[in-house]
Structure 1
């Protein structure tokens, strides 16, 4: 009952006939009425739903639908097809068409996950190439193929795309990139690069992949402070009396999402909340931190900033703050994007999301945000969907030059929220387990995630199996054996999910290359037939983390 169905029409026949190389075609499949309503909605929108409810499908559906309309218009413009014949325009019209051929539809699809980005890119590239081939009667392929499936590094995956929105080739659109690549492109578009302030960067070699020097990419990986580095290299150096009262993850989240990444921080002169403004947040009805706790966090934040500067390191919030500053005092000179689709938006801070307003002026129709705060697995991110909607109203809508301050007009074009509830990936046995976790979050952390109706599935299934072993037993050895021999049927459609990189290394020692082992972050948005979730300690934090696995 979860099979995909495809409508057979004259358009599909043309699509099949345009496949000159006899390769595998990825045709758009039929969607539900709920999904179709979201796809055809003509204005900016928010799509909210748990994992497996079709959010990415709807996003790509909207993108491809606009490409299809645009290519149909181009087909009528360049020559109308009829009975396998193309009526060519006269010489004067040809000259006009040649001049206007540079006019393209610039669409941008952004997600945090490299693997999910690649999967979407492969689907979009193939479909759009087929559309263009059927219109222009030629090969419009961008050259993406399944042989690159292991090339998930940004520098390799986007080697043909410059680190700037200036000079992007027309064939690169629609542009499907990671958020990291988006930041690099924006950094290369406006003024001097943020990384030029680092002395070591000026000495880097000129070997380049995708417009960015290989050495600079290495520098970024070595010097960027994420939660793991914060916890291991910074947290132990702080005042012991302060860090015993708070959790390092909570402190990092407050720094990245609120002090340096909240909507108030965007408006501050230096991009960071002052101590007084941050303490005022404790009076908010959704605040779970006292004024005393915020005092400690702010002191830790100041110590963190001093130590980070001393070490010549940076975090992503520093780059985002600098981009906002440059875009406020300068001007954006890159390609004007017509439509922006942001998937897994819950893995971005509000200040990161606010960057998209500079590249797309089509506020009324040009933005679609998709995600689920119950799946926030990026360390340091903390907000709800209503916060994004409020941000869109204040930073996108009110600051847009395309409208005045007519309250009625603002209300009419304010983005809708679409809720997706039918799960297409899994059966109701897994959904019931997932919902039990969600109910615990609702009870103990009422402000942490958005409240949605429980998901439903058309397929019955048993609850997942919990394999409990003795204290001296190793679950992986029990399943796979000492030599890591693959069990029957365990292949590309199966996966072992682990909590982090250290756990992956531990599991890989026993299974070798006989099984695919991914972290929670890496498996985001991907689908498998069989999933083994490997945990060392089944405590509350691990239990909550399993929310992100509901698609299994």
Structure 2
């Protein structure tokens, strides 16, 4: 059961609707989530599935919207600390908040939730400006973002808070800078004006056929590599090393061409967080070199190539799009370090403007590999202490980085399932000690028995076999 305190906020929410529609009550957050929401500094949130990471982010965003709305209305009841934090953002008519996630499905759900919350913050008047999101096919990004332009130049105020996928973020950043990355791939079948338009059906088809993701790498590239190099290696491991370390790691950001040299990559085996030997790294690097030649010959690219080009252009030209007041990055475990480094150009309020959230035990994208300590290192070295900001900072602020918040109370799952999942996590800690962050075990307020494990044959789906294909089954993880 859920219990709600009949606070003034809930009463106002119930009274805010004048059209007789059913209203969703706002979430009642846990003490852990409230600590995250009221934290003023940039922060890092890690927790397993169902512990309320996304809820904490959306409520934090919503609170900023409330403060801004009250400040614009000339409300004098705001506490001093809140007013100080809001003052910079309220100088203009809009507070620019950017929420980025990897999954289109999660993005769609968050957009709906944020729209509900924004109506609440504006006393119900927001619905007159923009109607609720239509029930579109949220798996199609071009449908979900058909009304959002392909650059960060002068985004209409009504579009904030801006909730987009990371793919859409990259396309908008590419459209903000000169010389689009995709102009080099232009062929006769795609008109030049459509090449810069991510909403174009022709462009989307072009993008899908030219991008090398893990599926293309394993099926079309892997069989053509030297079998003497690949026989003791796994395609997923090699693709992860290429995307997350050789072309997307912390060292790659600093490399002149955005890629680690063979010498620097092999040296990674000396680190405490590595379980790949030097000989294996030498083999992986040879495969990487063959892969780059084949990819270039095919006229194809991978997401790391796109990001490297964006980094190069940002070094040589100033970002002139909208500056964000606050940036929330969910599902951060599915992004590489070089991808995360792009956000530093979007927000000047580094100390307060960023929230990173995710779970390294729950990865959706193939080819990404890191722990939250890597993000803190990136944040400290590439955002807080970038060359442009060093001269603006004083010594006493050095090292003041928010701790990683661990969410441990699970709101979706009962204790029996959590005990089983924790036993699997313990095995990962034991046999793959560098692969995921070590967290305290999760707890639940609901008791339950251990679940039954459904075994399936080699080529069958256990869920569909037992329950039928109703069309509502959602895929999980990298599959």
- Report the Cα distance in structure 2 between the residues aligned to 1:291 and 1:14, rounded to whole angstroms: 63
Q: Where does residue 346 of structure 1 map in the other structure?
A: 333
SS state of the match for residue 361, structure 2? helix
The structural deviation recorded for 1:48 is 1.1
Q: Where does residue 27 of structure 2 map in the other structure?
A: 29
Q: TM-score, normalised by structure 1?
A: 0.79
Q: CA RMSD in A?
A: 2.6
Q: Could you list the per-position Cα deviations for residues 180-231 of structure 1 after superposition, in whole angstroms to 9, with x for gaps in the alignment?
A: 0000111100111100010327733756997642211111111111111100
Q: Could you list the per-position Cα deviations for residues 408-451 of structure 1 after superposition, in whole angstroms to 9, with x for gaps in the alignment?
A: 21223x12211111110010111011001101001100111110
- Report the Cα distance in structure 2 between the residues aligned to 1:37 and 1:472, rounded to whole angstroms: 46
The change in CA–CA distance for 1:446 and 1:473 in structure 2 (over 3 A counts) is closer
- Report the Cα distance in structure 2 between the residues aligned to 1:176 and 1:75, rounded to whole angstroms: 25
Query: Which of residues 315, 320, 324 is equivalent to 1:333?
Result: 320
Q: Where does residue 17 of structure 2 map in the other structure?
A: 19
The change in CA–CA distance for 1:184 and 1:242 in structure 2 (over 3 A counts) is same
Query: Which of residues 110, 128, 136 is equivalent to 1:120?
Result: 110
The change in CA–CA distance for 1:285 and 1:207 in structure 2 (over 3 A counts) is closer
Q: Where does residue 232 of structure 1 map in the other structure?
A: 219
Q: Where does residue 74 of structure 2 map in the other structure?
A: 76
SS state of the match for residue 466, structure 2? helix
- Summarize the alignment of residues 122-201 of structure 1 with structure 2, pairs less than 5 Å apart: 122-132=112-122, 134=124, 139-145=127-133, 147-148=135-136, 150-200=137-187
The structural deviation recorded for 1:133 is 5.0
Contact 1:205 1:215 in 2 (8 A): no
- Summarize the alignment of residues 128-527 of structure 1 with structure 2, pairs less than 5 Å apart: 128-132=118-122, 134=124, 139-145=127-133, 147-148=135-136, 150-200=137-187, 203-204=190-191, 212-399=199-386, 401-402=388-389, 404=391, 406-412=394-400, 414-468=401-455, 479=466, 511=469, 514-521=470-477
The change in CA–CA distance for 1:315 and 1:263 in structure 2 (over 3 A counts) is same
Deviates more, 1:268-277 or 1:468-477: 468-477
Displacement over 6 Å in runs of 4+: 207-210, 469-474
The change in CA–CA distance for 1:138 and 1:181 in structure 2 (over 3 A counts) is closer
Contact 2:175 2:196 in 1 (8 A): no
- Report the Cα distance in structure 1 between the residues aligned to 2:223 and 2:395, rounded to whole angstroms: 51
Q: TM-score, normalised by structure 2?
A: 0.91
The change in CA–CA distance for 1:356 and 1:202 in structure 2 (over 3 A counts) is farther
Q: Could you list the per-position Cα deviations for residues 345-402 of structure 1 after superposition, in whole angstroms to 9, with x for gaps in the alignment?
A: 0010011011100101110000000111111232111111101000000000001645
Contact 1:160 1:210 in 2 (8 A): no
- Report the Cα distance in structure 2 between the residues aligned to 1:416 and 1:230, rounded to whole angstroms: 37
- Report the Cα distance in structure 2 between the residues aligned to 1:333 and 1:460, rounded to whole angstroms: 53
Query: Which of residues 34, 47, 54 is equivalent to 2:52?
Result: 54
Contact 1:159 1:209 in 2 (8 A): no
Contact 1:53 1:422 in 2 (8 A): yes
- Report the Cα distance in structure 2 between the residues aligned to 1:474 and 1:259, rounded to whole angstroms: 35
SS state of the match for residue 110, structure 1? strand
Ranked by relative contact order (alpha carbons within 8 Å, sequence separation 6 or more), the top structure is 2
The structural deviation recorded for 1:168 is 1.2
Unaligned regions of 5+ residues in structure 2, if any?
78-89
Q: Where does residue 38 of structure 2 map in the other structure?
A: 40
The structural deviation recorded for 1:475 is 5.4
SS state of the match for residue 25, structure 1? coil
- Report the Cα distance in structure 2 between the residues aligned to 1:373 and 1:35, rounded to whole angstroms: 19
The change in CA–CA distance for 1:471 and 1:416 in structure 2 (over 3 A counts) is closer
- Report the Cα distance in structure 2 between the residues aligned to 1:380 and 1:343, rounded to whole angstroms: 17
- Report the Cα distance in structure 2 between the residues aligned to 1:172 and 1:477, rounded to whole angstroms: 39
The change in CA–CA distance for 1:13 and 1:248 in structure 2 (over 3 A counts) is same
Contact 1:204 1:215 in 2 (8 A): no
